[in-house]
Structure 1
Amino acid sequence: QWWYQYDNRRNYQLKYKEDSQTYLEASGSVSIQEGPSYIAFTPAENGHYLIEVSDGGSGHSASIFFSAYRYGGIPAGDLNEGTLALKSDKDKYKSSDRAKIMLPNPKQGNILVTVEKGREIIDWFWVDPSNSKNDELVIDVPLSKKMLPNAYVTVSVIQPHNQTQNDRPIRMFGIIPIMIEDSDTRIDFTIETAENLTPNKDFEVKISTQNQKQAHFTIAVVDEGLLSLTQFRTPNPWREFYKKVGLFIETYDVFSHIISANKGDVFQTFSIGGADDLDYRESQLDSVDGKKRFKPVCMFKGPLSTDDRGRPTVKFHMPNYNGAVRVMVVGTNKGSFGSAEKTIPVRSDIIMQPSIPRILKPGDEFTLPVAIFRINPKITNAQFTLGTEGPIEVVGDKIIKVDFGQNDEADIKFKVRVKEAVGQAKIVLTGVSGSTEVKSETDIKVVPSSVRVYDKSTEKIEKGQTRSIKVPKVGLDGTNNASLDLNIFPNMDFDHRLKWLIRYPYGCIEQSTSTLFPQLYLKKMGYFQKDEIAEIDRNLNEGINRLQTYIVSSGGFAYWPGNTTECDWGTNYATHFMIEAKKLGYSVPDYMYNGAINRLKSAARNHSGKLTTRVNRAFVLALAQQQPMAEMNLLMENELKNMNSAEKWMLAAAYHLAGAENIRDQILSNTDTVTEEYEPFSYNFGSKYRDDAIILYAAVLMNQLETAELMAKGVAANLSSREYLSTQSSGYMLLALGKYFDVSGISAAQGQIISGTVKLANGQTINFNQDGS
């Protein structure tokens, strides 16, 4: 070994050397036959290994790296001179054993041994290494049941400060997991049943424990095919309750900061093996309307107890089923756990397999084929009867007789017709031969042959008037219904939008602001119950505080909390919300409010951003009585012809708020209320529906109530629909409607707003007296 083979001369001088050299561990030759060939090699120590195979004739070679390390160690060679290599004499112990931990004997100093589990130190003691003259020191560690299922033995070797026999650190540290398993923690169950089960018959399951001691258990009998589909394994409670426990104790000392006779500070990092992988499964099935056609075999009883000798008998009734079931037993008793399983075939003397359509429609007529299989050769003939329930009926013969003769199979057919109705139906097939009776029941739905038809009409009724509404007869009997909604404004069915926004989890600046915006004004119009008002106030106050997490150095707002890049549209949007909230009396921090206003004023002076951002910025500043007149005039002179309708309405509203009504009128004379679709993923989250709401908002500000009424009806209709709307579209639309309702005096906050009488076609009279809820 030469000094220039190391990274520095200091490493060469130490007896414990760290280098990146490659050493030849083993070599030889192998004869490659047809198929794979194997090379036997046992790694001597932790580290990275390279296997290289060369063909001496052609010179071709191939190689692969792999890592070798002890169980519970780390997947790399540990080059930390402060790490102790520990070994144990067994892979697994009993709680009554004594574990032998082996390590290189330092022959001087002190050794601290601890036994730890989870977050607890179970035992600790000191060992004097000078009592042994061997090069390998063996430490006896007594074990106990408290250490089940595993514990960790840590060894700290503390060397004298003045020793120079080796140049390893003053303190060396090692850790090794000790696996412990006692036979009395397992319960071995034995399951005894008949070799074959019969459908629609009772059966018994006899269970016994091999140690003939009492246990408590649950038992389930489930269709084996269903378990196979979901890859369901019989639960193993022992593996769960006695799985490997991680070590969560952190060990600290200051020995690595003490300058030894050879080397300075050494900082250590240790990694401990984690718990075993957990089994998981996905066995959730979507629910369906009506009755399930295929009823799974799934029976369960428990918790139950065995007798004193560990021998219970459990009775079940097998439903109409042919196939195989798995009996699963899971039990426990005073810290011991066990499980067992047994697969049992289920078949009757006669098996019937009807081929039934998946669904039926009114007026359908079909042939129902049934395949018959004779399992018991003693049966020579049988009689089969088809029965129905619900909107279906049998046409022709309901009873068919079969003579098997020498055949074990037969095919029969029934004819079935569906009535002109819909609903739940059932097909019942019964087979009888002597004392043998088999039955098959199948639930099936009769559904309409066309899609569901909706119709809707809206009429206006003045106070004291009477309206007659004719309800048309649409569709099949039993499928039609009608509902009557009375609202103070057309298309007020947007409760689903409001609740979705309020419950929407806080995320980016756009989502957070859209969640808060509509709550400002819809609260005023009485949309919420009294007990919800306090919750709305909490939402708004918490949302204002949350906006502080988006602030960047410029005073604007980032798209995500903690980001340092400003989002121009997000800054406009959040500042707009703060202005409206401040006007309604909510506490907005002055530094955040003033910083955002100053940021918008600075950007307006520099005329920065895209056209929509610039117009919206001027509009927001005008709402705060900080009109950027220079920016507004520049937009008016140079960009008006390039603006869409929403942008023109915002600019007109900005001039209106500045008192320049002549310029406002000039802009409005050259615009309309037509909006266009946006490209997907627009930078300002725009949409046609959001622009409709902006025009409504601006019209309300400028007291353009005729235009506002028309826009409000359209906005309300879109909100009432089930069409997808982005968070900003929904937020702006609800905000603008709230503004309009506030100006129009539409409010339920003062009490009852609708009362009257509804007289139905059958003469029934319903009096209603509803408040804003």
Structure 2
Amino acid sequence: HAVDQLRVEVADLDAEAALAEIELLRRRRFEAGDVEDADIDGGERDIGGVAPGDTAYVTLAAVDVGILNITSFEAPSPQEFYFGQRRLGVEIRDLYSKLIDRMQGAPGAVRSGGDAGASMVSPPPMDELVAIFSGIVTIGPDGKASIPVTVPDFNGTLKLMAVGWSKTGVGQASQDMVVRDPIVMQVSQPRFLAPGDTSRISIDITHVEGPVGAVRLALTGGDGIVKLEANATADLTLSEKGHQRILVPVTAETVGDAGMTLAMTTPDGTVLTKNFGLPVRSIAPETVAKSAFELAAKGGTLTLGDDIFADFVPDTARATVSITGLGGFDVAGVVRALDRYPYGCTEQLTSRAMPLVYLDQTILAAGLSGGEDVAKRVNDAISGVLANQSSSGGFGLWQPDSGDLWLDAYVTDFLTRARETGYAVPAESFTLALDNLKNSINYLPEKPDFGPVAYAYYVLARNGRAAIGDLRYYADNEVQNFATPLAKAHLAAALALYGDRVRAESVFRTAVGAAENDSDPARATRSDYGTALRDGAAVLT
């Protein structure tokens, strides 16, 4: 009985009755650019259920129905949540989000897969998206609340969702509100164009209410970016509930964002406007032009003018100048190429961040874009690769995984270098990564791929975790089976880190000789993502 009495009290807050008396004002624009507020008012009726001296609150959300349909969103219902009928069963609750991730010392996060199982009821709207929330509004002493809602350039249906509550009750209500002009303009334009493309802008005019007769359209904007070939202005005759369509041919001229304005003069002289954008983007691959000049000693100069961009699309080119004793080695350009790489698996995150650990800030500033702090980029990369670390200490490309020894060594090498230069790497994650390398080389098959094995030994030696006896054995008995110059160089570097100079120099000479030989018999079968160019660079450094 106590539960029944409480349910009656709470359900008695009649927000639905109040929302039923809301005055819905259809939005109209009487001057170009003027958007009138839709005033949502509780009217003269008090919101029922508020006890004398009690304070009640309400929130109002106005959201485009097209957005809600994407996920079949239902209006919030506190009454149903607290007092709705439930079948008997087991309810599962977890505290996963409160746990501390032992790998990174941060609260855990639930990650689920993309759009699996999504149900699309209707496509997203092409008009400006509308999702407005009032925040908490206190009901006045007279039992009323007035909430103004400023609606942007929008034609469609908004769902109004109100939730009210006080110390003794809750309530909710929802209602659809149609927002439209007396004559609706619908513009369908290309999502984007490339320079030289031709397409059409479709303008649909539909009479809903009001006077009928002559209608004048004027489409303007986009000067210098797009060119309107015809029908930029048109005179139409619109009948009752009639519909007309105009096609405006358009040609893209140069890269940019074309701002367009469509103005319509209705039969009664009202001017309605609609703004939209038409982006123009180049779909050509990025072109890099490199030039090398020698500066004369004692006063040699180099002057760069606007003509260096003559062969490029305006406002899309950028130049960097490197002054170095290593002719043809454009460090800033290489950093920029890495920075623009669009993907983000574990290997790619590591490759983008590795040079940032060492390079001079001036070179980085020349090569990087966006002005983002270099330390933040490195820290983000550390967090990104550790998110793909498994409990065994190994790394996966897109998720926690293991089994790729070269990838494990590569990421652990990056974490080692980051630690050495002062970046914070979680100790437990780093120890797990080293333990994984140690365990992997302790259980090698009879004829392993020595490329990843040599890299793992090098990383372990850099951290003082390699077995010097194993290194000497491989140098004395197995070096001929290290198929690539890079594998031999890793073995030699590991020996050098332990002070075995004689063996290190011997293996290094073998690595240099292999790198100077253009033939690479292991190229077709190697599993270390390597090339002859990369081998040569690694042996050199």
CA distance in 2, matches of 1:438, 1:692: 63
Question: Aligned in 2, Cα 1:320/1:659: closer, same or farther, shift over 3 Å?
Answer: closer
Contact 1:193 1:204 in 2 (8 A): no
Question: Aligned in 2, Cα 1:513/1:236: closer, same or farther, shift over 3 Å?
Answer: farther
How far the C-alpha of 1:446 sits from its partner, in A, is 2.4
Look up the SS of the partner of 1:370 in the other structure.
Answer: strand
CA distance in 2, matches of 1:452, 1:515: 29
Look up the SS of the partner of 2:136 in the other structure.
Answer: strand
Of 412, 436, 443, 2:277 maps to 443
Instruction: Please give the residue correspondences for 1:10-25 in structure 2 after superposition, counting only pairs within 5 Å.
Output: none
Look up the SS of the partner of 1:387 in the other structure.
Answer: strand
How far the C-alpha of 1:205 sits from its partner, in A, is 1.7
Look up the SS of the partner of 1:233 in the other structure.
Answer: coil
Of 530, 535, 539, 1:688 maps to 530
Question: Aligned in 2, Cα 1:669/1:416: closer, same or farther, shift over 3 Å?
Answer: closer
Question: Aligned in 2, Cα 1:215/1:243: closer, same or farther, shift over 3 Å?
Answer: same
Of 316, 329, 337, 1:479 maps to 316
1:509-556 deviation digits (Å, cap 9, x = unpaired): 5566534435666888xxx5xxxx2x46x66x66664467559xxxx5
CA distance in 2, matches of 1:633, 1:421: 62
How far the C-alpha of 1:343 sits from its partner, in A, is 0.8
Question: Aligned in 2, Cα 1:457/1:521: closer, same or farther, shift over 3 Å?
Answer: farther
Instruction: Please give the residue correspondences for 1:475-624 in structure 2 after superposition, counting only pairs within 5 Å.
Output: 475-485=312-322, 490-492=329-331, 493=335, 496-498=352-354, 499=378, 502-503=382-383, 504-505=385-386, 506-507=389-390, 508-509=393-394, 510=405, 513-518=409-414, 528=421, 533=422, 535=423, 545-546=431-432, 550=436, 557-558=439-440, 575-582=457-464, 593=465, 597=467, 601=469, 617=470, 621=471
Deviates more, 1:340-349 or 1:373-382: 373-382
How far the C-alpha of 1:193 sits from its partner, in A, is 3.8
The amino acid across from 2:265 in the alignment is G
2:47 counterpart of 1:209? yes
1:570-614 deviation digits (Å, cap 9, x = unpaired): 8865554343334xxxxxxxxxx5xx62xx84xxxxxxxxxxxxx
How far the C-alpha of 1:557 sits from its partner, in A, is 1.3
CA distance in 2, matches of 1:648, 1:281: 42
2:172 counterpart of 1:307? no
CA distance in 2, matches of 1:432, 1:578: 78
Max radius of gyration: which structure? Answer: 1
CA distance in 1, matches of 2:462, 2:37: 72
2:17 counterpart of 1:188? no
Question: Aligned in 2, Cα 1:407/1:667: closer, same or farther, shift over 3 Å?
Answer: closer
1:630-677 deviation digits (Å, cap 9, x = unpaired): x655547xx67x945455667888799446988986897677454466
The amino acid across from 1:687 in the alignment is Y
Aligned to 1:111: none
The amino acid across from 2:2 in the alignment is K
The amino acid across from 2:317 in the alignment is N
1:369-417 deviation digits (Å, cap 9, x = unpaired): 4332222264233333323244345556654333335772334455555
Contact 2:409 2:455 in 1 (8 A): yes
Of 156, 171, 184, 1:323 maps to 156
CA distance in 1, matches of 2:411, 2:443: 22
The amino acid across from 1:322 in the alignment is N
Contact 1:422 1:448 in 2 (8 A): no
CA distance in 2, matches of 1:209, 1:476: 63
What's the TM-score once normalised by structure 1's chain length?
Answer: 0.45
Which of structures 1 and 2 has the larger relative contact order (alpha carbons within 8 angstroms, sep 6+)? 2
1:145-192 deviation digits (Å, cap 9, x = unpaired): xxxxxxxxxxxxxxxxxxxxxxxxxxxxxxxxxxx8463277431313
The amino acid across from 2:136 in the alignment is P
2:288 counterpart of 1:454? yes
1:663-700 deviation digits (Å, cap 9, x = unpaired): 986897677454466678x7xx52325x866x5xxxxx
Question: Aligned in 2, Cα 1:465/1:336: closer, same or farther, shift over 3 Å?
Answer: farther
Aligned to 1:428: 262
Contact 1:221 1:299 in 2 (8 A): yes
How far the C-alpha of 1:459 sits from its partner, in A, is 5.7
CA distance in 2, matches of 1:420, 1:428: 21
Aligned to 1:384: 217
CA root-mean-square deviation: 4.9
CA distance in 2, matches of 1:647, 1:243: 67
Q: How many residues align?
A: 427
How far the C-alpha of 1:340 sits from its partner, in A, is 1.6
CA distance in 1, matches of 2:75, 2:159: 9
Of 27, 32, 46, 1:198 maps to 27
Contact 1:218 1:330 in 2 (8 A): yes
Question: Aligned in 2, Cα 1:351/1:272: closer, same or farther, shift over 3 Å?
Answer: closer
The amino acid across from 1:514 in the alignment is Y
How far the C-alpha of 1:438 sits from its partner, in A, is 2.9
Aligned to 2:179: 346
Report percent identity of matched pairs: 15
CA distance in 1, matches of 2:513, 2:169: 86
CA distance in 2, matches of 1:547, 1:420: 50
Contact 1:349 1:436 in 2 (8 A): no
Contact 2:39 2:149 in 1 (8 A): yes
The amino acid across from 2:77 in the alignment is N
CA distance in 2, matches of 1:274, 1:483: 61
Question: Aligned in 2, Cα 1:517/1:399: closer, same or farther, shift over 3 Å?
Answer: closer
Look up the SS of the partner of 1:384 in the other structure.
Answer: strand
Aligned to 1:410: 244
- Segments of 5+ residues of structure 2 without an aligned counterpart are 30-35, 95-111, 116-124, 340-351, 355-377, 395-404
Question: Aligned in 2, Cα 1:239/1:479: closer, same or farther, shift over 3 Å?
Answer: same
CA distance in 2, matches of 1:566, 1:665: 26
Look up the SS of the partner of 1:334 in the other structure.
Answer: coil
**Structure having the larger proportion of residues in helix:** 2
CA distance in 2, matches of 1:409, 1:437: 18
Contact 2:454 2:488 in 1 (8 A): no
The amino acid across from 1:205 in the alignment is I
The amino acid across from 2:410 in the alignment is S
Contact 1:351 1:372 in 2 (8 A): yes
Look up the SS of the partner of 2:278 in the other structure.
Answer: strand
The amino acid across from 1:477 in the alignment is P
Contact 1:645 1:672 in 2 (8 A): no
How far the C-alpha of 1:341 sits from its partner, in A, is 0.8
Contact 1:384 1:399 in 2 (8 A): yes
CA distance in 1, matches of 2:228, 2:132: 33
Question: Aligned in 2, Cα 1:415/1:580: closer, same or farther, shift over 3 Å?
Answer: closer
Aligned to 1:169: none
Aligned to 2:203: 370
CA distance in 2, matches of 1:330, 1:463: 78
Instruction: Please give the residue correspondences for 1:66-81 in structure 2 after superposition, counting only pairs within 5 Å.
Output: none
Aligned to 1:228: 69
Question: Aligned in 2, Cα 1:400/1:469: closer, same or farther, shift over 3 Å?
Answer: same
CA distance in 1, matches of 2:443, 2:159: 60
The amino acid across from 1:315 in the alignment is P
Contact 1:384 1:432 in 2 (8 A): no
